[in-house]
Every structure is written in structure tokens, then in C-alpha cells.
A and B are shown apart, each in its own frame.
Chain A
Amino acid sequence: MSDVTGKKTVIRGGRVIDPANGVDAVRDIWVRGGRIVAADTANSPENEEPEIIDATGLVVAPGLIDLHVHLREPGQSAKETIETGARAAAAGGFTSVVCMPNTNPSADSPATILWIKERAKKACVNVFPTGAITKGLAGEELAPIGSMVQAGIVAITDDGHCVQNHELMRRAVEYARMFDLPVFDHCQDYSLVGDGVMHEGYWSTMLGLPGWPAAGEELIVLRNILLAELCGSPIHCQHLSCAGSVRHLRDARARGVKISGEVCPHHLALTDEAVCGFDTNFKMNPPLRAQADIDALMGGIADGTVTVLSSDHAPHMAVEKEVEFDRAPFGILGLETEFGLFHHLLVERQKAIDLPRLIELLTVNPARLLRLDRGTLSVGAPADVTLIDPGLEWTVRPGEFASRSRNTPFGGWQLKGRAVRTVVAGETVWKL
């Protein structure tokens, strides 16, 4: 690596937590030409002064990766753009995000993927597009998956929708295997869920709102387990919300099925009781569930059943959300509260996992799932780095969000732990 040139930076004196390399120690991280380098190569041959980032008292982690965000472009730029979504990511400590294909038009063709990638060049963090499994997310015909791979997708999913036809889903999984392409699935059985808008239970019964039973998610998780077994190929289940899904995943993984799952912060932070004021910032899909589900999700994160954390960042305009509860769109913002909520809930309060484990779930694990050479501070890796102050107590202020939207239920929440500086390819793109 002696031919490394370019800008030289040292992140000095922080507690480096790099789970991929089993590192948890105070040391300096050297960056040159946008990549992590060893200290001795950074200093040779010439003796120019490096940029010094003082990380004393902070945690230095690989740049956080969120494999589940909605950046709303093309077509819904009043909610969010790739640029504003990327700034929200940076403000949350994320250096890489994976955007979902339920845009307008949906990301189901190489032309749209190339358009997104072109827009992403101006974004301050890495933006990796997914492609649709089916044309128009309609669940009827396969999208041109191979052409989208050539255009640069990192996974396929019909997120926001769910392929109901099991044979079609099977063929998608088999077809994707030839590209070693991850398949993600939003798990929702349409006939069971119907017009459900909140978790089916006491609160939906009391409020008279149509219920979304947990079994509607579990059924598709089980379907995916069976298809992963049948095809011998991996399937990743997005935003798991209920105890049954964790149990099915745990059982299947124990017998070697290539199935994985992710969990979002709101499903750990809130129960369905929050809906009792009909505030649509508590409406998301899948819905907020019961305390037993929260406990099970925490348990699944603690015992390694759940290997990835994500936000399901879903911006919506105030005018779209300020309507009758059953008519409001599903989804809330995530990127700018994600790390704080996970750290506060999982590490500080519940002590379900420690900080190195949390970082693993937000860096190397999603990177491996996506086959990205990121999520580590190994020499030679892209210099994506997040500086974290795990002791910082802060208040969520939606008015100060970088996102174009404001639809969060967490305004005013006091959290402990926050990213304070975000470095992408050696350049600081955001700091507190």
C-alpha cells in the first residue's frame, strides 16, 4: 500500500470498536486517499501534516449502515430527496444507506436504478439502491433483475408490498441466487391483514380500528423459511415486529436455514397503546405491537436471532399524515433517532446487548448481508467512520431534523448516546 496518496487524516485517541476485527481498544485510525491505512504507510513517504480529528472520550466505529430506508426519489420529492435523506443519514451517524424501490415510478428497471445512482453521486453518504422483485411491485411478473444487477442494485425487495404468490417468490429467490443477490421481504399476508391499520389486540378492539394480526407477518416469515429451505438460498425478513416471527426465525436458524431478520427502533420503543390518541405518527407497517412482542424482539437481538438493525425511515408530508387515522399513510422517520433509540433502549436501559454488539448489528452484519466491503475499519476498507458519544444525553427535536419531513413520534424524547461526527471516505460530512 506504499502507493497510497491523497489527503491524510488521523482520528486520534478514541476507543476503537471494530467488531469485524474483534477490536475494542484505544488507538488511532489513519486515513489516506479515502481509505483506512496502517499508521506507518500513512506517514511515508513525505512528512505532510495530517488532519487531526480528536476522538478522545469518544467511540470510533465503522460507519453505520442502514439497509432499510425510503428516500422517496424518484417521484415523491416533497417527502424526501436522496440528498435530504442522505443528510438525515449523516446526522444520524450513518455513512451508507440502502433505499427501497417503492418510488414513483417504482425502481423496477435499470433506467430508474441508473437515475437513482446518478442522483446519489451528489449525496453526502453512500446510497445503495435496491430493485423491485416484481414489475411495479404488483406481485405478478418478475422485474428485470439481471439488468438491474448490472445497473448496480445491492438487493431486491417489494418493500411496502409483499409478493403473495409463493411460486413467484420461489422463482425470484432462485433467480437472484445466480447473481449472489440478497432477497429482502416485507412480510405481510394480504388476506389475513386485510385493511388492518394497527396491531390486532385489546387496543384495536377498544378503538374500533381494523386490526393487523401478528399472524399476518408470521405466515410470510414461515413461507420465507420454507422457500429458503426449498431453494437453499438466503432470504432476509425486513422490519420484524412480533414474538412469533422471532421464534420462527430462531428455530429455522438453529437447523441451518439461510434466513435472517431485522428490527426497527419503534418496534422496541412503543406498544400499540400509543395509538389511543389516534395520532398518525404512531401508524406504521408493520404496526406497533404488544409488550410481549417488544420483549421477544429484545430477546432475539440479545441471543443473535436478529442480526441486523434498521430504521425503515419513511418520510411523509405533514398534510399526508394529518388526516383520519385509517386514511393516513404508514411510516415514520427513522435515521436521525435510530442510533439514539437503539443505544438508549438496548444498551442503556434494557442491557440486552453491549455497545460493541450494537455496533456489529449496525455495521459489519448488514455489510456482510449486502456483500459490501464496508462496515469495518480494516486496512484497505473505505474510510467510513462514525464517532459516537455513548454518554451524551440529548433531546429529540424534530424541528432541527435534516430530513425534509417531520413525521416522528419521538419529538421531545430524551435519549442517551448519539453519533457526533460522520466521516465518509475520509471526509467529515456531518458533525454535531
Chain B
Amino acid sequence: MKPDAPRPIPVTWRRKDLLGIQELSAEEITLLLDTARQFKEVGARDVKKVPALRGRTLVNFFVEPSTRTRTSFELAAMRLSADVVNISASSSSLVKGETLKDTALVLQANNVDIIVIRHGSAGAAQFLAERLDSSIINAGDGAHEHPTQALLDLFTIREKRGKIAGLHVAIVGDILFSRVARSNIWGLLKLGARVTLVGPSTLVPRVFERMGVRVVRRIDEILEEVDVINLLRIQHERQRRAYFPGLGEYVSLFGLTKERAHRLRSDCLIMHPGPINRGVEIDSDVADDPKHSVILDQVTNGLAVRMAALYLCDSHRGDHDAIQTNRRATA
């Protein structure tokens, strides 16, 4: 066992891919979070790099633009000593009309071990996972799932509040088009939290209740009772398609204004997956308020969570020191 590798963990990860939170068990989610905690400790050291993925090649395949998620994955891979290549939609052959399947086969032919994919189509990560031997990490597929975002949110909640089970979490805003919301809902429910969705009836249809959550229309109803409030970015283009009449009205009905923030419990966490529309879904000062806001902790934790996801999915090959040690122990 290499000295800098994480300690063996007594649950085995058997998945090649991380496609979504819906398919994970509570134990698998907990394993990811526990592994991330070890990697976070590594991130606090002077030497932040571990050799866990040395010799592995990772491609950041971002068909949809992203800066923060791509950078986070890139840093995570570098800290695990993997070789990293970034491909964006404009620099790939997709612009020349190549299909996703062919682009992926080309990547595989270059013996890429891990592909991190961000794509505008729901199911795109699964599409690759079914066709390639490489590990596929979903970095957001359409409005479907964004599992590492949910994991970093769960990690942050657990870190700050010591637990997830029994907490009451509100997710506010554009749920309908949000992969972050869907992944968070699955993860929170699996780990025993209560979830309330808040937003306009156009963006938070009642059908979400069938996932096992509560839907409310008035943010003021839940301010005093929630342990966590997660605010999603409101996209201006929704207004053009008549999901709501205007940002001003949105702020008045659903924005986390200073007045509303005052009514939050003192230990309530304010979260936001970014990028923030200051003054829309959240007041600018509230977003920066150290008493509640954990928005930058989320970014820090994103790195640890992504290191864990890359490490565990790569380990399905069974040639990791830590995993092998573990297998011998349980054999």
C-alpha cells in the first residue's frame, strides 16, 4: 500500500461508472462521502498530490460549457496524479457532425481510462457507459442528474451539521430544468432527510411529489423550519418561455432576501450550486454571510468528492492497492 493512498474502506465499490444518485444505495453514497473526507484531509496537506491514479488517463469531455465543474474535475484528477485532457464541444469532432458514439469510440481507442462527461442530453452519460469500457463519470446530463454536485452538497451538509438523516432541506427555484435538484432529491431521501421543494407552479410541478418530497408555493412557510436552504440559479431564458413573468416578481415571491434570511434558524445552512445571480434567487449580502452561507465550502468539498468519485470508479478494475488489500481481508 502506498503511503499516501487512503485507508481501505470496508464497503467495496463495484461500479465502473458514476451516472446518477438514483441508482446508488445509501451505503454507496456514504462510502463516497467517507472516501471524500479522506481526500479532503489530503487537500489540507502541504503536498496535495497522491499517486492513486498515476498512469491513468482522464478526459474531461464537456459538450456543454462549464468552468467550475470542469476545473474541479481537472484539479481532482491532477491531485490523484492522473493525466488529464480537456475536450470541449467546439474542439471536438461533434461540431463536424461526428456522433457521440463515434467520438467516444475514438476516446476509447486512445486507451482513456476515465471519461468525465457534461452533455445537454439526458441519458448521455449512460449512453457512453453502456458502450465503453472506460469509467464514465456524469458531470451533468441535461436536466437528468449531476451526481457529484449532489455528493458535494451532501458532504457539506454532513460536515457542517454532523448528519443528514432527520434534517429538513428546502430546494428553491427552477426544479423542473435542474439536474442538481434531481440528484439532490435522491441523495437526501436515501440518507433520510426530509425534502421540500419551493418555487412557482410552472417550475415546480406537483408531479415531483411522487418522488417522495413536499412541494410548497410560499417560501415564507418554510424559512423557520428548515435546516438547509439550497437555492438554484434562475435562468433568464425561462422567462422568455413564460415560466414566470419577470425576475422582479420572482425575487418578491421566491428570492432569499435579507428580510427572509433573518427568519432562518441560526444554524440553517444556505447553499447554492453556482453560478449565483446576486440579487435574484439570493440577496448579495446573504450569499456572503458567513453565519449561514456555505457556498464556498461547497466548492472546496467538490474537489474532495470528485477525487473520491474518480478514485472509486477507477478501482472497479480491482488493481488498486487499497482495494486489493481490502478484498484479501474480506476473502
Contact = CB atoms under 8 A, between A and B. Distances in A.
B211 A324 contact: no
A326 interface: yes
Interface stretch (A132-140, A204-212, A225-233, A409-417): A204-212
A208 B145 contact: yes
B123 interface: yes
B121 interface: yes
A326 B123 CA distance: 9
A208 to B, nearest CB: 3
Interface in A301-331: 319, 322-327
B111 interface: no
B28 to A, nearest CB: 19
B16 interface: no
A301 to B, nearest CB: 28
B99 A319 contact: yes
Interface string B158-178: 000000000000000000110
A319 B177 CA distance: 29
A202 interface: yes
Contact of B208 (A205, A207, A327): A205
A201 interface: yes
Interface in B87-144: 99-101, 119, 121-124, 126-127, 141-144
B70 interface: no
Contacts, number: 55
Contact of A205 (B121, B123, B141, B205): B205
Nearest to B126: A278
Given A319-B99, A323-B100, A326-B142, A208 B122 contact: yes
B207 A201 contact: yes
Given A208-B179, A278-B122, A324-B124, A202 B207 contact: yes
The number of chain A residues touching the other chain, given as a range, is 10 to 19
A252 B101 CA distance: 48
A205 B213 CA distance: 13
B contact face: mostly helix, strand, loop, or mixed: mixed
Interface in B170-210: 176-177, 179, 182, 205, 207-208, 210
B122 A323 contact: no
Contacts of A324: 100, 119, 121, 123-124, 127
A321 B208 CA distance: 30
A202 B208 CA distance: 7
Nearest to A201: B207
Contacts of A322: 99, 101
A208 B143 contact: yes
A209 B142 contact: yes
Contacts of B177: 208
B185 to A, nearest CB: 10
Given A278-B127, A324-B127, A207 B119 contact: no
A206 B23 CA distance: 12
Nearest to B22: A206
A399 B207 CA distance: 40
A203 to B, nearest CB: 10
Contacts of B143: 208-209
Contacts of B101: 322-323
Interface string A186-221: 000000000000000110011111000000000000
Nearest to A278: B123
Contacts of A327: 121
Interface string B247-287: 00000000000000000000000000000000000000000
Contact of A206 (B126, B127, B211): B211
B121 A207 contact: no
Contacts of B127: 278, 323-325
A207 B207 contact: no
Contacts of A319: 99
A271 to B, nearest CB: 14
7 contacts: A202-B207, A202-B210, A209-B142, A278-B126, A278-B127, A323-B99, A325-B127
Given A205-B210, A322-B99, A324-B124, 6 more contacts: A208-B143, A208-B144, A277-B126, A278-B122, A278-B126, A324-B119
Enumerate the 8 nearest inter-chain pairs by beta-carbon distance, A residue then B residue, closest first: A208-B143, A278-B123, A324-B121, A208-B144, A208-B122, A325-B123, A205-B207, A326-B121
